[in-house]
Structure 1
Amino acid sequence: MSTLTPDDLTYSDVPKESRFEARTPEDALVGVVGYQRRGGALVITHTEVEDAAAGHGVGSSLARFALDQARAEGVPVVPLCPFVREYVERHAEYADLVQEPPHREG
């Protein structure tokens, strides 16, 4: 991954796996953003990046891809994943997509 940049990767939505993926030109999976579709919202549950790709912007590129997909679909995002929540906090252009999860009584 040292010579690859996030721009060299291919990003896709894989609904059967409920995740967005980042793959190298050789089709190696280097990162995922997991999600669930609930109540008309895209609930982002976790982000994983392969160790060899960590620190190269893959997670941020995946977060941006997931958020851009939600915007294109016109659905709100519930960022349960701390990485994506922090990404949105650093990139105010996505703040309008965020729907807070319902608070549970108890």
Structure 2
Amino acid sequence: AEANITYNVSGIYYRALAVAGVEGGFRGLDGMATTDVLPVAEKALAYARENEADLKQYEPDNGWGSVNCVYRVLGVLIEVCKKDEAGAVVRVQ
């Protein structure tokens, strides 16, 4: 699956994924197996939902991206990881 992850919300990803144990935002997932990404993505999504009010300050003024976009992308990532029991490698470009 592919997703266009805008740089404008990278600050939200950096924070949510760091809480889940991955540094470097989405690029920190590159090379990880889906079986390892799944718990990270679930924890990052839970953190983002629990801290939405705080994370909204990192939404861009230009309107290109929001906390809701982060929810959507992490949700897609979680679904892809759940479907792949073989542990395919995640690639972030």
TM-score (norm 2): 0.36
More helix by share: 2
Largest Rg, 1 or 2: 1
Q: Which has the higher strand share?
A: 1
What TM-score do you get using the length of structure 1 for normalisation?
0.33
Relative CO higher for 1 or 2, CA cutoff 8 Å, sep ≥ 6? 2
